[in-house]
Amino acid sequence: MENFTPISALVGGSLIGLSAALLFALNGRLAGISGILAGLMPPARQDATWRVMFVVGLIVGTGVWLAATGRPVVAFDVGWPVIVGGGVLTGIGTRIGAGCTSGHGVCGLARSSPRSLVATVTFVGVGGLTVFIARHVMGV
């Protein structure tokens, strides 16, 4: 557990919660990233602008920290077929399941939604199982 980073995890997580609170208090919207993206899928809706602005902010926010600190390092340990397959599955799954780590795992749990609790337990469990099978059974 030497790679455990509790302080930065608590600070970063609190900022994510603050972001969700800000968007909800002022705009009445939940900061679920897959939901924000789904609203940009065809047929295009009237409220595309704020969704695009949120995504721009997301990228710039991470960029500011990267520029200031040079951290964290981002690397991948899988090949192209897995990158493509994982991306497609992430898109399909979050659209069908109506949420991702932020929509269900943060906003949904904060709203005490039973659907979000079930979804979060499911994708964390399946994610863990997937890593276990890939790393410890198949050894990739």
Residues 71-110 that bind another protein (CB under 8 A): 71-78, 80, 82-98, 100-102, 104-107, 109-110
Residue 43 binding another protein, by CB under 8 A:
no
CB 52 within 8 A of CB 120: no
Closest contact distance (angstroms) between CB of 70 and another protein is 11
Q: How many residues bind another protein (CB under 8 A)?
A: 110
Candidates 44, 114, 138, 139: give the one binding another protein (CB under 8 A).
114
CB 31 within 8 A of CB 106: yes
Residue 11 binding another protein, by CB under 8 A:
yes
98 closest CA partner among 124, 119, 117: 119
Residue 45 binding another protein, by CB under 8 A:
no
CB 110 within 8 A of CB 101: no
Q: What DSSP state is assigned to residue 18?
A: H
CA atoms within 13 A on the CB side of 6: 2
Candidates 4, 44, 46, 138: give the one binding another protein (CB under 8 A).
4
Within residues 119-138, the interface with another protein by CB under 8 A covers 119-120, 122-132, 134-136
Burial of 102 (0-12, 13-18, 19+ CB in 10 A): buried
Residue 14 binding another protein, by CB under 8 A:
yes
